[in-house]
């Protein structure tokens, strides 16, 4: 059973995702912002993270970057970005993940992407931010 961490600030979306993945026999935990997500990962490393982009406290891209710089296995977790931001493809490129879906998304596309990410196990490779 794959362990999945959902990091989503909207409780309705988080619970909906949890229910969908639970029905597919994933072991699911939910965090409500990036800082809480990092705390959850320090308790138990998941097999995959479903990550919102825009959240309070610590946003999705910054959480992904924090995982990358910790370099203790946490940087190897595949990340699926789920967001309604207009520039989601660019955010995914910045985070370095090939896995992203724009909200709203069909459930079958979400499940297929999660299965693909778990099978490929491609960890994000973030682009370093250029100094201005």
Q: Is residue 47 part of a domain?
A: yes
Q: Is residue 85 part of a domain?
A: yes
Residue 126: pLDDT band (50, 70, 90) is confident
Are 18 and 40 in contact by the 8 Å Cβ rule? The answer is no
What integer pLDDT is reported at residue 72 of this predicted model? 65
Q: Which residues span the domain enclosing 51?
A: 3-120
Q: Is residue 126 part of a domain?
A: no
The per-residue pLDDT for range 60-109, each reduced to its tens digit, is 999 998 888 775 666 789 999 999 999 999 999 999 999 999 999 999 99
CATH at residue 31: 3.40.50.2300
The per-residue pLDDT for range 23-67, each reduced to its tens digit, is 999 999 999 999 999 999 999 999 999 999 999 999 999 999 888
Q: Is residue 12 part of a domain?
A: yes
Q: Is residue 63 part of a domain?
A: yes
What integer pLDDT is reported at residue 100 of this predicted model? 97
DSSP string over 110-124 = HHHHHHHHHHH----
Q: Is residue 132 part of a domain?
A: no
Structural domains counted in the chain: 1
Tokens of 128: 């370093």
């Amino acid at each position: 059973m794959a362990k999945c961490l959902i990091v989503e600030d909207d409780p309705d979306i988080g619970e909906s995702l949890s229910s969908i993945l639970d029905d597919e026999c994933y072991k699911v935990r939910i965090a409500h912002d990036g800082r809480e997500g990092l705390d959850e990962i320090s308790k138990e490393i998941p097999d995959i993270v479903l990550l919102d982009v825009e959240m309070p406290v610590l946003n999705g891209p910054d959480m992904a970057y924090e995982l990358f710089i910790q370099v203790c296995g946490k940087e190897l977790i595949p990340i699926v970005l789920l967001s309604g931001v207009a520039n989601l493809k660019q955010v995914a490129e910045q985070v370095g993940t090939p896995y992203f879906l724009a909200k709203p998304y069909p459930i079958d596309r979400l499940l297929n992407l999660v299965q693909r990410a778990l099978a490929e196990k491609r960890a994000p490779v973030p682009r370093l931010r250029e100094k201005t």
